[in-house]
Amino acid sequence: MMIKKAGLVAILVSLWGTAWGQDVENGRQLAALAACESCHTEEGGAKNAGGYPIETKYGVFFGTNITPDPETGIGNWTEAMFVQALKHGLSPEGRPYYPAFPFPSFSRFTDEDARDVFAYLATVEPVYKVNRSHALKRGVRNRGILRMWRLFSFRADTFAPREGESQSVSRGRYLVDVVGHCGECHTPRNSMGAMKTNRWLSGSDDGTGFAPNITPHQTGILNWSEEDIVGFLESGMKPDGDFSGGEMYRVVEECTSVLPEEERRAIAAWLKAVRPVQGKKD
């Protein structure tokens, strides 16, 4: 009965979003690039039902259930609750989320796009699955430290085109820096775990895996053409014929390869326009 009720909620919310102009297909594409399904689906599990382990130096975080199940998922969330979670990192009750959920990047989502993602998630299959508790180190188990972290390391921001920036580069910047939250893995962090914005996309090695420099520097993708980047985002093949592995393989397979080609081209345009920063070689 619970599944049936959740299914009805999903249908009603989807119809509501369509009636009020929400673009479910746009929401689907943005959710794909944002890795919603990738981070919220454990291996062999139901899609978007949570359980995927995200390993960090602070411990292991587990993706939560974001299906429209009203008891264990987000079926009882309002649109405003979802936007608050996505852009401000706060639960419906106002509790701060750990920044393993990349709300510092998502904070610059446009409200319209955030609502589109919510409308899309309302259409996915509802699944009753209780969220798994994070397995964190002792020093970070108390969520009270998150309010202090937010005070020094989080500023809600908005996205806006820059003067002299082409439409393609602006779109690519939005897709890379905001929706795709590439900086969360490819930017080194300070002692408080916040991204070092002066070393944006220059690569990071936090002890759980190396993310390479993706700026147009000699230690990054200087010698990649825009066509190389577009091809990589579609197939995962690098200019030298090698293929990406690990988490990046999943990013390509589940996120960037399903985008329209013009979106991949916009991403390439921005990555070639990013300020070059020296980083470590893989």
H helices of the chain, in order, are 2-19, 24-33, 36-39, 79-88, 103-106, 111-121, 144-153, 167-173, 183-186, 226-235, 246-254, 261-273
Examine the fold and report which residue of 89, 120, 153 is the final residue of a domain before the chain moves on.
153
Indicate if 180 and 62 belong to the same structural domain. Answer: no
Contacts of 102 (CB under 8 A, 6+ apart): 181, 184
Contacts of 105 (CB under 8 A, 6+ apart): 177, 178, 181, 183, 184
pTM over 0.95? The answer is no
pLDDT in the model for residue 205: 85
Indicate if 85 and 185 belong to the same structural domain. Answer: no
Give dist(CA 64, CA 84) in Å, integer: 16
Kindly state whether residue 279 falls inside one of the protein's structural domains. Answer: no
User: DSSP assignment, residue 102?
Assistant: -
Give dist(CA 170, CA 208) in Å, integer: 31
Whether residue 248 is predicted with pLDDT greater than 90 in this model: the reply is: yes
Domain with residue 218: its CATH number is 1.10.760
Indicate if 19 and 114 belong to the same structural domain. Answer: yes
Indicate if 9 and 111 belong to the same structural domain. Answer: yes
Q: Helix and strand tally (H, E) in the chain?
A: 12, 5
Indicate if 123 and 171 belong to the same structural domain. Answer: no
Kindly state whether residue 175 falls inside one of the protein's structural domains. Answer: yes
Mean pLDDT of all residues in 12-27: 67
pLDDT of 73-90, one tens digit each? 999 999 999 999 999 999
pLDDT interval class at 277 (50, 70, 90)? very high
Reduced to 3 states (helix: H, G, I; strand: E, B; else coil), residue 243 is strand
Kindly state whether residue 162 falls inside one of the protein's structural domains. Answer: no
Indicate if 96 and 182 belong to the same structural domain. Answer: no
Examine the fold and report which residue of 99, 131, 153 is the final residue of a domain before the chain moves on.
153
Kindly state whether residue 8 falls inside one of the protein's structural domains. Answer: yes
Indicate if 129 and 189 belong to the same structural domain. Answer: no
Q: Which domain holds residue 189?
A: 167-273
Kindly state whether residue 158 falls inside one of the protein's structural domains. Answer: no
Whether residue 53 is predicted with pLDDT greater than 50 in this model: the reply is: yes
pLDDT interval class at 219 (50, 70, 90)? very high
Indicate if 112 and 40 belong to the same structural domain. Answer: yes
Indicate if 135 and 216 belong to the same structural domain. Answer: no
Q: How many domains are there within the chain? A: 2
User: DSSP assignment, residue 177?
Assistant: I
Whether residue 3 is predicted with pLDDT greater than 50 in this model: the reply is: no
Indicate if 99 and 177 belong to the same structural domain. Answer: no
pLDDT in the model for residue 137: 93
Indicate if 261 and 171 belong to the same structural domain. Answer: yes
Whether residue 11 is predicted with pLDDT greater than 90 in this model: the reply is: no
H-helix or E-strand containing 56? Answer: strand 53-56
Examine the fold and report which residue of 153, 186, 209 is the final residue of a domain before the chain moves on.
153
Q: What is Dmax (Cα atoms) for the chain?
A: 59
pLDDT interval class at 4 (50, 70, 90)? very low
The residue behind tokens 């996309």 is: 201
Say what percent of the chain tops pLDDT 70: 91
Kindly state whether residue 278 falls inside one of the protein's structural domains. Answer: no
Residue 265, φ and ψ in degrees, nearest 5: -70, -35
Of 118, 123, 120, 116, which Cα lies nearest the Cα of 11?
123
Kindly state whether residue 281 falls inside one of the protein's structural domains. Answer: no
Under 8 Å between Cβ of 210 and 203: yes
Indicate if 91 and 10 belong to the same structural domain. Answer: yes
CB-hemisphere CA count at 13 Å for 202?
A: 16
Whether residue 19 is predicted with pLDDT greater than 50 in this model: the reply is: no
Determine the straight-line distance between the first and last CA of the chain, rounded to whole angstroms.
52
Mean pLDDT of all residues in 31-54: 96
Whether residue 20 is predicted with pLDDT greater than 60 in this model: the reply is: no
Under 8 Å between Cβ of 42 and 52: yes
User: By mean pLDDT, which of 5-9, 107-111, 241-245, 267-271 is the weakest?
Assistant: 5-9
Whether residue 12 is predicted with pLDDT greater than 80 in this model: the reply is: no
Reduced to 3 states (helix: H, G, I; strand: E, B; else coil), residue 60 is strand
The residue behind tokens 């993310």 is: 211
Beta bridge partners of 237: 243
Under 8 Å between Cβ of 164 and 273: no
